[in-house]
Amino acid sequence: MESFITDKAYINGKWESVADSFEVLNPYNGEVVGRAADCDKALAEATVKHAHVAFQSWKNTCAKARSSILKKWFELILKNQKSLAELITKENGKPIKESIGEVAYAASFVEWLAEEAKRNYGTTIPTPHPNKRLMSIKQPIGVAGMITPWNFPAGMITRKACAAIAAGCTVVLKPAEDTPFSALAIAKLGEEAGLPAGVLNIIPSSREHAPEIGNVICTHPDVAAVSFTGSTATGKILLGLAASTVKKVSMELGGLAPFIVFDSADMNKVIPNAIACKFRYMGQTCVCANRIFVQESVHDEFVSKLVAAMKKELILGDTLDPANSFGPLINEKALEKVVESQVEDAIKNGATVVCGGKRGSLGGTFYEPTLITGVTPAMKCCNEETFGPIAAIIKFKTEDEVIALANDSRVGLAGYFFSNDVAQCWRVAEKLEVGMVGINEGLMSTAEAPFGGVKESGLGREGSQFALDEFTEMKYMCWGVLH
């Protein structure tokens, strides 16, 4: 793993030294994982220029050649799965079993997109004119600027960058300040797989320089597309910047996922899915269950069984130890600004803390897995993305009522519900105002399916047969005078 930790940036096929650096800390114990390159505006601008030059040749490589490199990259990621997983856990505190799973997840996108590179089809169009022939082709858009999050530092990079690379684009990527080494490790393996110089560029930065690099990515005239995963608030700022040069933009932003339990649901299936959907990576994912709606006739049973499962399965400790399944939050700000404030607000407004509700005994940024009942739609935990281990339970009576409550939000990334009524499953799946629906399933993301939201949860889709669309332009060709 040590070979993946570097204080250099990866620019134009070279590992470049940078004047300044910043510390990356392990959330579990506060120890320094390493020092990362602190890139600035000038270096970001130079990197875009390199990527633009590289694009002139990369766009002309055949699909099979791009696919071949991606397949080698996929194999190298799996070969280094253990080291990559340990690095992720040290950077962001994710339980090691989940980090191992993330590496496999990240690799799955490389494999899928290696095949999609060869399926970037155009169309022939029936013509209304006998002496004309009509067709369309898809062409790579150019340099793709990317900003990726800390919660899935490997998965988000391959899901974005490999789609662009498969399409024939080049990439300038700024990883999250908390997890730069995971991005650089993925890049190192891409280099080993045969990526030409300038096709993938990684420019880490501290929080101090992040805004100026984001500005370059969103406003530089040589950047043709922008892809961002993060908060809705930040996404709106970047979208405004990108508008100045009318870039193609894809964004996966915040969520407020409803998790609905109807009275016909099989509780033996609901509980393990609730644990996975709410508490995976301590609730620090954009598709986590944020509001748990339970029909009143099964409310008490659900609460009792979920609390028992939480106490049994969520084991706090050093997340490099596979015996532990629950680690620290990413940093103190995440704990104070979101988790503690939401719990305090709920208690103040009449909710009951059934379990948890306080910092963990291990200190640091540990927060106990928490379940709150008596939650109402006006509380913070129902209106703000939690990004933490709070299961907020809201009781409901009817299907119409819960649909209205679930849709009462300006965001719509993911939604989940559990029911054994087939007709109800169709109705609810169609009525939920989200981009992705889990029906009797709490974990649904896969490389083969389109990932993305509606409303203020983002633009575009990642993964699936549509992945390359975010990085291509459609060109229409009209052939005349054929007779």
Mean pLDDT (the chain) is 97
Q: How confident is the model at residue 336 (pLDDT cuts 50, 70, 90)?
A: confident
* Residue 339 predicted with pLDDT over 90: no
Q: Percent of the chain, pLDDT > 90?
A: 97
Please determine, for residue 236, whether its predicted confidence score (pLDDT) is greater than 90.
yes
What's residue 481's pLDDT? 76
Strands 143-147 and 170-174: parallel
Q: Which of 33-47, 58-72, 330-344 has the lowest mean pLDDT?
A: 330-344
Q: Would you place residue 1 in the very low, low, confident or very high pLDDT band (cuts 50, 70, 90)? A: low
Give the pLDDT band of residue 262 (cuts 50, 70, 90): very high
pLDDT in tens, 268-306: 999 999 999 999 999 999 999 999 999 999 999 999 999
Q: What is the mean pLDDT of residues 226-247?
A: 98
Q: For residue 419, what are its two tokens?
A: 């029911």
Q: How far apart are CA 335 and CA 286, in angstroms?
A: 16
Chain segment 71-88, per-residue pLDDT in tens: 999 999 999 999 999 999
Distance of CA 136 to the CA centre of its chain: 32
The whole-number average pLDDT for the span 163-185 is 99
pLDDT, tens only, 6-25 = 999 999 999 999 999 999 99
Residue tagged active-site, from 116, 177, 191, 252: 252
Confirm whether 332 is a catalytic residue: no
Report pLDDT for 31.
Answer: 96
Asked whether the predicted pLDDT for residue 70 surpasses 70, the reply is yes
The H or E element that residue 404 is part of is: helix 399-406
Residue 337 pLDDT > 90: no
pLDDT above 80 for 483: no
- Is residue 122 within 8 Å of residue 138, measured between CB atoms? yes
Taking alpha carbons only, the member of 149, 151, 148 closest to residue 27 is 151
What one-character-per-residue DSSP string does 192-216 give? Answer: HHTPPTTSEEE----TTTHHHHHHH
CA torsion through residues 297, 308, 365, 412, sign:
negative
- What is the pLDDT at residue 2? 60
Distances (CA, A) of 107 to 72, 77, 120, 227, 382: 11, 6, 20, 19, 34
Nearest CA to 217 out of 231, 233, 206, 201 is that of 201
Q: What is the pTM of this model?
A: 0.97
Domains of the chain: 2-253+457-477 (3.40.605.10), 257-446 (3.40.309.10)
Mean pLDDT of 88-115: 99
